[in-house]
């Protein structure tokens, strides 16, 4: 069993997402801000728009949204 190193290797296809600019970026900022301020998490609003977590967070910050703490709410005493 030998490996032929002279055979050309297939390269994986890299799909790049288009850059969001102008009116489309502004529309995404508004949609993300509305969802996040309505109580959804960054992951929820990102998934709803098909964006990555990082881009969703960046757009929220660009929109001037104050991000919530990552801490969980305290559990009430029983």
Residuewise pLDDT in 10s, the chain (78 residues): 556 667 677 888 877 777 778 888 999 999 999 999 999 999 999 999 899 999 999 999 999 999 998 776 666 666
First to last CA, the chain: 67
pTM over 0.75: no
**Which H, E and C letters describe 55-68, residue by residue?**
HHHHHHHHCCCCCC
């Amino acid at each position: 069993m030998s490996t032929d190193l002279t055979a050309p290797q297939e390269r994986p296809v890299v799909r790049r997402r288009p850059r969001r600019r102008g009116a489309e970026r502004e529309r995404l900022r508004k949609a993300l801000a509305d969802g996040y301020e309505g109580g959804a998490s960054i992951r929820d609003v990102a998934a709803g728009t098909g964006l990555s977590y990082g881009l969703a967070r960046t757009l929220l910050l660009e929109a001037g949204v104050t991000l919530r703490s990552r801490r969980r709410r305290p559990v009430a005493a029983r």
